[in-house]
Amino acid sequence: MLIKRIFWQKMIQQAWTERSVIWLMGVRRVGKTSLCQSIENIEYFDCESPKTRQLLVDPEVFLENHQNKYVALDEIHRLDNPSELLKLAADHYPNIKIIATGSSTLGASAKFKDTLTGRKIEIWLPPMLFQDMKLFGNTDIRHRFLFGGLPSFFVAKDLPEKYFQEWVDAFWAKDIQDIFSIGKRAAFQKFTELLLANSGGLFEASRYAIPCEVTRPTISNYLNVLEETFVVHIIRPFSTHKPTEIVMAPKVYGFDTGFVCHAKGRGELRAEDTGSMWEHCVLNEINGQLQTRAINYWRDKSGHEIDFVMVNKKNNSINAIECKFLTQQDDSTLASLAKNFEFFRQNYKNGENFVVANNIDISIKRRYKDLVITFVNPQDLIKELSK
């Protein structure tokens, strides 16, 4: 039985009111196929099937036969010229609502000779959001940390250790080899494993070049490929190039807590792991609900740091977000939390200060000196960032 993920179905239906072509992107096994098949009255085509590819040899004939219909074209990059079909549909068959899926950004594949600028809307499906957990029958956040947010992994009764390696093998065979020119499988997979094991840390290419036995430029290329395929998220420092700020070194986050735990060798979740895993999940929530990669972090050379920084373009304010799995609002905790916000606000006066935690039911504002800090849960954080 297909689970109806209402949030995502509404996003798709809204996108179709603006454009007739949707590009649904996200990592392998994140649920793109099931989401497409759950759409009412959709005609589903698996482009990995030779029979489907034969049907699509003549795009114009195919489109003529599907006037006024909803069509899902799964793994469309397997076609010889996928952009031709989508461009033709957008320009000449706007009455056909098409959702096409892939495991990378549309422009990442050399097969896409046209990135359909202005002709399509992109929707990024990340691992499960917190609201998705309810639909899949398990709201245990620690389970989400350890098993991850790919639906088939999340619903497993036992930790699906072998599935992680199977996923990596399929990722290499069906995503990397099909789309990118990566010659050294062992080096690429070694880099991916090391990056996931160090997820959330500062990135320096030379740190990975020696153990992977490749050059620093090759490491940078590998990182770009992993970002294009949504396996990592690169969070760059926010700064106005003040001499006290970190301005160059990015932080790199793995796409899924389950894969991060696996890369770290975690068969069980430790108490000290929860803070980092919570940070990953909050990032995932922002990525998915706001459909954005426009997220930074801030750190000064004295070690003061803000987990996430986001600019509100509506009013040019700069919002600062700290992630705490569990927190209190007593005076001593407030004073400790305020320290990083205080240093940040010395340079960036205008904006909201948020502490997002798992044990907050109702948002509450607390004042510390000249600062106002809002304690929120993830759902309320998204509402605030959407204003």
- pLDDT tens for the chain, 387 residues long, are 689 999 999 999 999 999 999 999 999 999 999 999 999 999 999 999 999 999 999 999 999 999 999 999 999 988 888 989 999 999 999 999 999 999 888 766 666 767 788 899 999 999 999 999 999 999 999 999 999 999 999 999 998 889 999 999 999 988 888 777 788 999 999 999 999 999 999 999 999 999 999 999 999 999 999 999 999 999 999 998 788 898 889 999 999 999 999 999 999 999 999 999 999 999 999 999 999 999 999 999 999 999 999 999 989 999 999 999 999 888 888 999 999 999 999 999 999 999 999 999 999 999 999 999 999 999 999 999 999
Q: Do 152 and 278 have their domain in common?
A: yes
Alpha-carbon distance 178 to 180, whole Å? 6
Among 265, 290, 315, the domain-final residue is 290
**Domain match, 34 and 106 both:** yes
- Looking at the structure of the chain, the number of domains it has is 3
Residue-wise over 3-22: b if at least 16 C-beta within 10 A, else e?
A: eebeebeebbeebbeebbbb
- Does the pTM exceed 0.85? yes
| Residues 324 and 361: beta-carbon distance below 8 Å | no
What does the block give as tokens for 178? 């099909």
Instruction: Give the domain extent around 246.
Output: 130-290
Q: For residue 1, is it within any domain?
A: no
Pair 52, 198 in one domain:
no
Residue 233 lies in a domain: yes
Q: What region, left, alpha or beta, does residue 21 occupy, with left being phi > 0 and alpha being psi -120 to 50 degrees?
A: beta
> In Å, what is the CA distance from 204 to each residue of 108, 248, 265, 363?
23, 10, 22, 38
What is the DSSP-derived secondary structure letter of residue 106?
G
CA dihedral defined by 224, 253, 284, 302, rounded to 10 degrees? -120
Is the domain of 282 the same as that of 262?
Answer: yes
- Domain end position, chosen among 79, 103, 124: 124
129 secondary structure, DSSP code:
P
| Domain annotation covers residue 40 | yes
**C-beta of residue 326 within 8 angstroms of C-beta of residue 361:** no
Same domain, 168 and 241: yes
For residue 299, being part of any structural domain is answered with no
Cα gap 335→329, rounded to integer Å: 10
Assess whether 147 and 119 both reside in one domain: no
Residues 242 and 274 in one domain: yes
Do 379 and 240 lie in a common domain? no
